[in-house]
Amino acid sequence: MILVTGGAGFIGANFILDWLAACDEPVVNLDKLTYAGNLENLASLVRDARYGFVQGDIVDRALLDNLLAVHKPRAIVHFAAESHVDRSIRGPGEFIRTNVEGAFTLLEAARAYWSSLPSAEKAAFRFHHVSTDEVYGSLAPEAAPFAETHPYAPNSPYSASKAASDHLARAWFHTYRLPVSISNCSNNYGPFHFPEKLIPLVITSALAGKPLPVYGDGRQVRDWLYVRDHCVAIRRILAAGRAGETYNVGGDSEMSNIALIGMICALLDALRPRADGLSYARQIVHVADRPGHDRRYAIDARKIERELGWRPSETLASGIEKTVRWYLENEDWTARVQSGAYREWMTRHYGAAHG
């Protein structure tokens, strides 16, 4: 079996669903269930004997030791992290606690467990650490995409905390020989994405008749990766990736934020027209740029293609259409995850129009 941390979050839940659709190897999901953790994402697995859930914090060493001793996983896939840049700017402490202290605690628990395994199981064990392209900093418009050898230059409390956890994971391989692999992914999108992030925020705000906030001029460029393509990449790394290696995972789909929002508005215009017949694009409003906002990210994913044969199957156009249709078909899910606490945070951050 495998242990997944943060499996009730956006990417973690999609990974568990993808994993159990692809194979019968059981999964135990460890999640603290913070505001972004939602067990409803995994409701289809409630009666599945291959799936188990434990609520807990990756900073709790005793809990981790017990989980590893009882379930004896042959791999750990570490998603659990605080991940929203805006929240990290307003409250960096929780990002340091979860992303740095939590990664350290999990690595130490994994090292103790791995060291106790029989030689064959020890050789087969893998700890996979899931990270972000934001650790590399910001790219100039004409610069080559981030390769795995690109120097780290994080610019937000979030990306700095993830960079720290990457360095810890790498050090635990080189110092202790714990069989760690790392992946740095570009911006994910798709089903079950919590609606504080750009794509679900635009979809849900548009449908609710609210403003569509765009930071600054909106020309920040990101590489977009459909979440299920990311899940397949992680499965490939677990199956055939080399310990001690980093693999960049990207969607080969660069687009500016303002162009992406226009694409989403056009899809909504076609699939769910406004009652007045006007475009959802009329709801776009430019707001003050956030501090330290990186201008461009782009991923060079040739290493994972060359070594593991992985390429994204979705284009940005096909993935965005699937995503918009999913939100249109699951508006009840969106309504339930937008709790009072989430609405209060949106009001503080973007203004009363989002309350």
Tokens encoding 241: 């990736």
DSSP 216-249: TTS--EEEEEEHHHHHHHHHHHHHHPPTT-EEEE
Q: Which residues pair with 31 in a beta bridge?
A: 55
Q: Which residues are catalytic?
A: 133-134, 158
Take residue 336 and report the two structure tokens written for it: 């339930």
Q: Could you tell me the two tokens for 339?
A: 């709790």
| CA-based torsion, 254, 163, 15, 42: positive or negative | negative
Contacts of 119 (CB under 8 A, 6+ apart): none
Largest Cα–Cα distance of the chain, in whole Å?
68
Residue 110 phi, psi dihedral angles, 5° rounding: -65, -40
- Spell 78-97 as b/e; 16+ CB within 10 A means b: bbbbbbbbbbbbeebeebbe
Residue 195 φ/ψ, nearest 5 degrees: -80, 30
